[in-house]
Structure 1
Amino acid sequence: MLIETYSKRIKPFFTGFDRTFLLFVVLLIAVGILTLYSASFNLPVRVTDQLRNVLLTFVLMWGIANLSPQILMRLAIPLYTIGISLLIAVAIFGLVRKGAQRWINIGIVIQPSEIMKIAMPLMLAWYYQRRESALRWYDHIAAFALLAIPVGLIAKQPDLGTAVLVFAAGFFVIYLAGLSFKLILPILLAVTIAAGSLIAFEHKICQPQTQWPLLHDYQKHRICTLLDPTTDPLGKGFHTIQAVIAIGSGGIFGKGWLKGTQAHLEFIPERHTDFIFAVYAEEFGLVGSIALLLLYLCLIVRGLYVAANGATLFARLLAGSLTLSFFTYAFVNIGMVVGLLPVVGVPLPFMSYGGTALVTLGIAVGLVLSMGRQKSLIQS
């Protein structure tokens, strides 16, 4: 009798979640552990650390998923305010490492920009929920202002990768809230023309004596190296060149698990974090890479399904933006590894080694599960 009563009390905390969405997350983490095991052949403790990170992530994921949307809405303003305050503190007296001022010591050393990956979409989803009955065009301007503050502070550190992720998370909320695609199209056209011009006039604009307005020399060098990695094969271009060699050497079916020579001979830099996709592609080939991309696609489609069935505007916007953020993570990381995008230090979601990134992603998954669980509990 006691066991039955206890079971009834516990059961609600484990029901109502979208199991399909959670299954795709678990599969990606499992693939990540297998790939990390191969990438960390010379330092197996990384796998143990990552398993500990996975356990912590699932605990946080479960805890967040059991929070109601009403509680999460009340957390939006405090979390956003704390995040902005910490970013300002970083700009004033943050710790400098490798030329970047991204960290602050508050008893423990933290990177406040990670907070904004969650706080930004949470804040904007709350804002649009409050404005749902009387939404006007200027509300989008106010939303962009809320977004511009943290993105500007993060970009100034400088941390372009995190700035892109925070901007994407906030922008997806604004777009899903009703921003017209007609307003986005001219920007996409301008970016396309700019990218085409860079490619067409690469040999002229990448000369050492050519100065680029509004950009530092290292930013110019990063873009020029992206256009032609062979101009700096032992420097900035080394990562891209070695990653592309690894991916190409994998062929159609790959060399097999634990048999990747580029990784095991230590040619691939950061092979356990930002460039883990190169390790995976070398060992599992084109077929394995397509399977991994399909797994990410399934995760995103299912997440959007959860978002589309959200009980409130807040739930739909938050779940939708976080799901599309997973797409941004994967797109930027894989584009970076194959040489289509600059190397900006964005991890491959659920696969790259690292506790902070995995915990942040786990919290995002918990939020998506919470948004989907709300309607499930109402219907039951």
Structure 2
Amino acid sequence: MARIPERRSLRRRLRPYFTVFDWPLGLVLFILMMTSVITMTSAGADFPDRVEHQIRNFLLAFAVMWIAANVPPQMLMRLAVPIYTFGVALLIAVAMFGIIKKGARRWLHVGVDIQPSEILKIATPLMLAWYFQQRANAHSWKSFGVAALLLGVPFALIAKQPDLGTALMVGASGFYAIFLAGLPWRALMGLGVTGAAALPIAWSMLHDYQRERVMTLIDPTSDPLGKGFHIIQSEIAIGSGGIVGKGYGKGTQSYLEFIPEQTTDFLFSVYSEEFGLVGNCFLLVVYLMLIGRGMMIAANAPNTFCRLLAGAITMMFFTYAFVNMGMVSGILPVVGVPLPFMSYGGTAFITLGLGAGILMSIQRHRKLVQT
């Protein structure tokens, strides 16, 4: 008598889709998000529904992360070229038909206003990882030249909008993929010398407000009540936190509304004032755990595509944190980069959630991908 195959329960059939999370990475993200809620409750006291909206952003990022974690790397490889091409096409559409807000043409109206440049933060390293996967054993100066062109196109289109902060993030994520692919040190030194020589030209190409930001970084006291006001107040908040901080909800700079954008780009200032050096060290350790886990996933990746993509995404997280903390501490110009998984914002959380989901997908499918 033929044996009737056992019918799996609905729970067993659905279980693989809910065990996709990498728990070490997920724990770090949970800590960051809970720290964000705690800080946002204080920083957003004068902003109705800000905490509720941030929790909504968390849930949205979680949904995007879950979807991405269920997409195998083989599918990501097949989608790399279409996603990159679509993203660049949208950037061209923005340059031709985009909506101008506050002097910048960054948005495209398709029923709702969207900012296509966010797509390229993931699409660019995705495309470059695919490109080097096709040439895994044939890297040459020509292949690196083509890779530089693939990176340069979206970077130039975004910088022209102008959106220097996003352009730098796209450029950084793409550069990390090229570097991890084996870019020779001679090329890096050449790029450094060329970049230094091109500084006068780059300076002349900057918009007036961008040059003002650089000059404000050098000497914020030159206009303490104008362009330098924000960074001065941010530095005061960070310094006044001392060793252990003023205490939760007791940050005077934020409650007196001296700190600009205190729930978004300058959230770190509020956190530093209330939790001090001890709190900052804790936050740095958490971010180091995030970067460490991401690099571990990259190191254990089964092929070139997964290794480059995981490494580039991880280093993108690092760049987010480094630029934001440097910006609000007065060691980097203000370029509008949020603190990853903490600052208020929906679009950035979708991008970050997508990146985290891709890392989890690479970790989950590492034994299934053919090298």
Q: TM (normalized to structure 1)?
A: 0.91
Q: Aligned equivalents of 2:221 and 2:293: distance in 1?
A: 40
For residue 361 of structure 2, what is the aligned residue in structure 1?
370
For residue 202 of structure 1, what is the aligned residue in structure 2?
none
Is residue 269 of structure 1 aligned with residue 273 of structure 2? Answer: no
Instruction: Give unpaired runs (5+ residues) of structure 1.
Output: 199-211
Contact 1:76–1:119, Cα closer than 8 Å, also in 2: yes
Contact 2:21–2:66, Cα closer than 8 Å, also in 1: no
* 1:1-380 aligned within 5 A: 5-15=9-19, 17-188=21-192, 213-376=204-367
User: Identity across aligned pairs (percent)?
Assistant: 56
Contact 1:310–1:374, Cα closer than 8 Å, also in 2: no
Contact 2:265–2:343, Cα closer than 8 Å, also in 1: yes
Secondary structure, in 3 states, of the residue corresponding to 2:137? helix
Q: Aligned equivalents of 1:187 and 1:44: distance in 2?
A: 48
Q: Which amino acid aligns with 2:232?
A: I
Q: Aligned equivalents of 1:333 and 1:192: distance in 2?
A: 24
Shift of 1:165: 0.2
Q: Aligned equivalents of 1:270 and 1:192: distance in 2?
A: 33
Aligned length: 364
Residues 8 and 85 (structure 1), Cα distance of their counterparts in 2 relative to 1, 3 Å cut: same
Shift of 1:191: 6.3
Residues 65 and 193 (structure 1), Cα distance of their counterparts in 2 relative to 1, 3 Å cut: same
Q: Which amino acid aligns with 2:285?
A: L
Instruction: Give unpaired runs (5+ residues) of structure 2.
Output: 1-5
Measured against aligned partners, the alpha-carbon deviations of 1:50-90 in whole angstroms (never above 9, x if no partner) come to: 10111111111011101011111111111111111111111
Q: Aligned equivalents of 1:226 and 1:178: distance in 2?
A: 34
Q: Which amino acid aligns with 1:69?
A: P
Residues 107 and 165 (structure 1), Cα distance of their counterparts in 2 relative to 1, 3 Å cut: same
Contact 2:20–2:69, Cα closer than 8 Å, also in 1: no
Cα root mean square deviation, aligned: 2.1
Shift of 1:4: 6.1
Contact 1:140–1:179, Cα closer than 8 Å, also in 2: yes
Shift of 1:224: 0.9
Q: Which amino acid aligns with 2:55?
A: L
Q: Which moved more, 1:33-42 or 1:16-25?
A: 16-25
Q: Aligned equivalents of 1:7 and 1:45: distance in 2?
A: 36
Q: TM (normalized to structure 2)?
A: 0.93
Measured against aligned partners, the alpha-carbon deviations of 1:326-365 in whole angstroms (never above 9, x if no partner) come to: 0000111111000111111000000000111011100000
Q: Aligned equivalents of 1:303 and 1:219: distance in 2?
A: 33
Q: Which amino acid aligns with 2:43?
A: A
Contact 1:76–1:123, Cα closer than 8 Å, also in 2: yes
Shift of 1:137: 2.1
Q: Which amino acid aligns with 1:72?
A: L
Shift of 1:12: 1.4
Q: Which moved more, 1:219-228 or 1:243-252?
A: 219-228
Q: Aligned equivalents of 2:337 and 2:66: distance in 1?
A: 25
Q: Which amino acid aligns with 1:302?
A: R
Shift of 1:223: 1.1
Contact 1:303–1:323, Cα closer than 8 Å, also in 2: yes
Residues 193 and 268 (structure 1), Cα distance of their counterparts in 2 relative to 1, 3 Å cut: farther
Secondary structure, in 3 states, of the residue corresponding to 1:234? coil
Q: Which amino acid aligns with 2:25?
A: F
Q: Which amino acid aligns with 2:169?
A: L
